Amino acid sequence: MQAARIHHHGPPDALVLENLPDPRIQADQILLRVRACSLNHLDLFVRAGIPGMKIPLPHILGSDISGEVVQVGELCQRVQPGWRVLLSPGLSCRQCAHCLSGNDNFCRRYTMFGYAIDGGNAELLAAPEYSAIRIPDDMTFESAAATPLVFLTAWHMLMTRARLQPGEDVLVLSASSGVGSAAIQIAKLFQCRVIATAGGERKLSLARELGADHVIDHYQEDIAAQVRHFTAKRGVDVVVEHVGAATWPHSLASLAAAGRLVTCGATTGFEAPLDLRFLFSKQWSVLGSFMGTMGELHQVLQFVFRRQLKPVVDRVFPLAEIAAAHRYLENKEQFGKVVVTP
Ligand SMILES: [Zn+2]
């Protein structure tokens, strides 16, 4: 099979297309013919190297995967050859107390495709049977691959961590990101008022098309001042953060009393100040969020499969151009998901 691998961490050119032996499945695994795999910022981090995190090399990236099942192991009972599926990006031991109580994203052995194990930037992939989720016949592989990681992440952030209530005011940072485009739609599903940020006129109007009630150009305007303007000085109930150092002070300043800031990433830097006077006097909650459970994935996928939530595919690259796809995401040119097809 063909696969894109890294043999060392580095810039996009570290990704090389190679011919490899086909993967062999274990008894509890399925063999997937990968049809599409979307990029996440995680791909950029893993490619460049994460301090303190050892990735086995050579390594195949790619966490968000869809395809056709071509073979099932002898212990598999549910999945059938020929099924069109997407894969749950999160993998866990399925045996510890966290896993058995449904919180598989707390498992000590939790990982994702393309992180501690090989991912979907290949023509074939061996995956555990439990990770395969059947997709509707009319759903494209590109849309399916653009769905799991960002919709799961945004769902866990809003519904589980921030306990979003219908009708609340929500600020979503960076509508053009995968998580941002998912968070806007989930908040609108619950009749919330959504304020979204984006850079430039084109992305602002795309954010409106996704359902944002108000938009803020984060390169031109003061986010917190605009939020106060749109909310009659009150601020928002929930802020969806994943940008980090560059936006953190503006995110906090946008919170109403008893507001919740929930963050799942920090693409612009990890160090961010917090003035404790505001934390306690305004009774804010600052919440961390990481992926989500498989139960939540099934929950949010119901809405995607019913077309009440729509994955946003910006652009599709062939696997041979994966380095260009990485550069495209790195340069923030996209609105929504960048997909690679083998
Ligand atoms: Zn576990």
pLDDT in tens, 77-120: 999 999 999 999 999 999 999 999 999 999 999 999 999 999 99
**Ligand 1 centroid to 283 CA: how many Å?**
34
**Ligand 1 centroid to 295 CA: how many Å?**
14
Q: Report DSSP state, residue 248.
A: H
Structure confidence at residue 53 as a pLDDT band (50, 70, 90): confident
**Ligand 1 centroid to 270 CA: how many Å?**
27
Q: Does 152 score more than 90 pLDDT?
A: yes
Q: Does 51 score more than 90 pLDDT?
A: no
Query: What's the rounded Cα separation, in Å, for the pair 51 and 238?
Result: 31
Q: Does 181 score more than 90 pLDDT?
A: yes
Q: Does 175 score more than 90 pLDDT?
A: yes
**Ligand 1 centroid to 93 CA: how many Å?**
4
Structure confidence at residue 309 as a pLDDT band (50, 70, 90): very high
Q: Does 169 score more than 90 pLDDT?
A: yes
Residue 180 and residue 172 in contact, taking contact as beta carbons nearer than 8 Å: yes
Residue 159 and residue 186 in contact, taking contact as beta carbons nearer than 8 Å: yes
**Ligand 1 centroid to 115 CA: how many Å?**
17
Q: Does 52 score more than 90 pLDDT?
A: no
Q: 201-210 and 178-189 are packed helices; what angle lies between their axes, rounded to 10 degrees?
A: 40
Residue 35 and residue 342 in contact, taking contact as beta carbons nearer than 8 Å: yes
- What the block records as the tokens of 228 is 């106060």
Query: What's the rounded Cα separation, in Å, for the pair 119 and 141?
Result: 16
Other Cβ atoms closer than 10 A to 293: 24
Residue 66 and residue 149 in contact, taking contact as beta carbons nearer than 8 Å: no
pLDDT recorded at residue 215: 98
- pLDDT mean across residues, the chain: 97
- What the block records as the tokens of 260 is 């919740």
SS3 150: helix
**Ligand 1 centroid to 291 CA: how many Å?**
15
